Structure 1
Amino acid sequence: MSRLRLFVAVSPPDHAIQELRRAVDPLRALPGAGKLRWTGTPSWHFTLAFLGSVDEEVLPELHARLERAAHRTDPFPLRIHGAGRFGGRALWAGAAGGIDTLRLLAERADAAARRTGIPMKEHRRYSAHLTLARSRTDADLRPFVEALGGFEGTPWEVGELALVRSNLPVAGVRGEQPRYEVIASWSLGH
């Protein structure tokens, strides 16, 4: 039985990604930017629940439970907003708009995974973030957060929940990024 590395996510539409890309590109010229591992625009998403390594045999039940979670959640507005950091290790863009609904959808995705029998990490309050860059060592990310802190993206309507497979990069290949593949998605609402 094969195992898949999976997460549940909401992806911004192309226009929102391009707006953010235009705001992020100048950050790559800031001092210290060369030491960061920048994520590529195809991988920009808001993770709702990280499922880890999952047996392929549980996918039918997981799909059914995620579909119910999606159908129980009405479409909602969201926009990319501001920036933050997790210590000196990760730079991210935040979200604004229907945050309470996004949080509820994250809780429903987490519950769907748990009810399917997928062991989930300890539950903590969901924090909406889209990872822009990572550092292997502690880096001073404050200048990047300050430069992007005032970013206000155009709102869009979240209408879909996606189950995504993460294909890890090839070991030893410099600059190689994980590749993400949507393996199933469900429309929000009825």
Structure 2
Amino acid sequence: MRLFAAVLPPDEALRELGRAVDRLHELPGADALRWTGRPAWHFTLAFMGEVDEALLPDLIERLGRAARRTEEFPLRLHGGGHFGRRTLWVGAAGALDTMRMLAERTEAAARRAGVSMEEPRRYHAHLTLARTRTDTDLRPYVDALGPFEGRSWTVSRLLLIRSNLPGGGRPGEGPRYEEVGRWPLGAAG
């Protein structure tokens, strides 16, 4: 099964972001981007790829431990950016050091559970909004997102998500996400 650890913004934060993204859709060339669906908006902490189901019990135990070792923290959606000329994202502000630590702990938990992970790289909190297969000037979208400031919320849980890749061949069809595990953050968890 294809898995990743994530933080999900609350509904109100997603509604605020939705209003900002609706305005992006009005920009020239927006129809050439492949926009992520709102049900898919999340912050990936650690992408694990294909994971053998036999590893799941140990992975679940270790992720629970990582969650208990990390206190709740404030976060908000903030601004925007791009990776190269193919991925547009909205960023985050708040306790980013704590979020980075949670990302490192989830990655370490996966490795210790036997999940084959890519080489570690410095975590960059972002929520992907759109992708393109061709080189595209994403600066107008980043500029439009620049002033975006969502309201703050408290990150209180870690989730393990299964990504079911599309198989129907419908244009624009994205993956379907299924929650596999959920843990409260902090010692109380």
Shift of 1:53: 0.2
The one of 26, 40, 44 equivalent to 1:29 is 26
Q: Whole-Å Cα distance in 2 between the matches of residues 150 and 92 of structure 1? A: 14
The one of 64, 77, 94 equivalent to 2:91 is 94
The one of 24, 42, 45 equivalent to 1:45 is 42
Residues 96-150 of structure 1: CA distance to partner in whole angstroms, max 9, x if unpaired? 0010000000000000000011111111110000000000111111000000111
1:79 aligns with 2:97: no
Amino acid paired to 2:65:
R
Aligned to 1:169: 166
Aligned to 2:127: 130
Q: Which runs of 5+ in 1 are unaligned?
A: none
Amino acid paired to 2:164:
N
1:142 aligns with 2:165: no
Partner-residue secondary structure (3-state), 1:124: coil
Q: Which runs of 5+ in 2 are unaligned?
A: none
Shift of 1:172: 2.6
CA RMSD of aligned residues (A): 0.7
Number of matched residues? 187
Q: Whole-Å Cα distance in 2 between the matches of residues 89 and 144 of structure 1? A: 12
Map of 1:4-19 to 2, 5 A cutoff?
4-19=1-16
Aligned to 1:159: 156
TM-score, normalised to structure 1, is: 0.97
Q: Whole-Å Cα distance in 1 between the matches of residues 20 and 97 of structure 2? A: 26
Shift of 1:171: 5.3
Runs of 4+ in 1 over 6 A off after TM superposition: none
Partner-residue secondary structure (3-state), 1:23: helix
1:183 aligns with 2:185: no
Partner-residue secondary structure (3-state), 2:119: coil
Aligned to 1:120: 117
TM-score, normalised to structure 2, is: 0.97
